[in-house]
Amino acid sequence: MSKKTSNKIIIFDLDGTLIHSLPDMSIAMNKTLKHFKLRTLSEEKLQEFVGEGMLKLSENVLKFSGADLDLIDNFFSMYRKEYSENPYNLTTLMPGVKDSLKYLLNKNVRINICTNKRQHVAEKILKLMNLSDNFDFIVGAKENVPLKPHRQMIDFICNQYNSNENEFIMVGDTNVDIMAAKNAGISSIIVDGGYTNKDYKSLGADICLNNMSELKSVLNL
């Protein structure tokens, strides 16, 4: 007899929530900065600009560098190319993620990803990490689709299920994730240790976790 599927549908953010991708992003960004003869950034500083997609990241880095924003198109194109070609050299799972995903899958919880990372890059990384098959849907940035904190990407996932029979929960690490969940009218969980430079407990999530290992204790499965 097959196990009963949980009515909880989990929607994970990717960067800073499931994966520590900052090292590879930093390599690509600093290569781009050097090309344009701009000063490089530490991972800690770059982390402050992550979460709203590649274009916004590129804009914020240029502003911080004091560069002419007329460079944005060429700068963004180069960074996107550099990172898209090499997104998985130093990237690892965030602490507690491996065991948490295993637990959720054993409990027949349906899991998904909603990320502001480009769709094909997210898919590439997850495939290289042998994680792709675990998720029902992987929804990333595409042309003409508003990014989180807009609700559209979350709505797409929710609409794939019977919204009257399921409880949707967004799990993320930044204000962008929590606001997206609120805009979509679903519950939210924030995990400390990700890519926010704010006090994670101040961001208004329904539940705050010190690390991903605590996720299974709050889901009441």
Which structural domain range is residue 53 located in?
22-85
Q: What is the pLDDT of residues 134-191, one digit of tens each?
A: 999 999 999 999 999 999 999 999 999 987 889 999 999 999 999 999 999 999 999 9
**157 within domain boundaries:** yes
Same domain, 105 and 137: yes
SS3 breakdown of the chain: % helix, strand, coil, rounded to 5?
45, 15, 40
Same domain, 118 and 210: yes
- How many structural domains does the chain have? 2
The backbone region for 2, taken as left when phi is positive above 0, alpha when psi lies in -120 to 50, beta otherwise, is: beta
Same domain, 81 and 97: no
Same domain, 71 and 99: no
Q: What is the pLDDT of residues 41-60, one digit of tens each?
A: 999 999 999 888 899 999 99
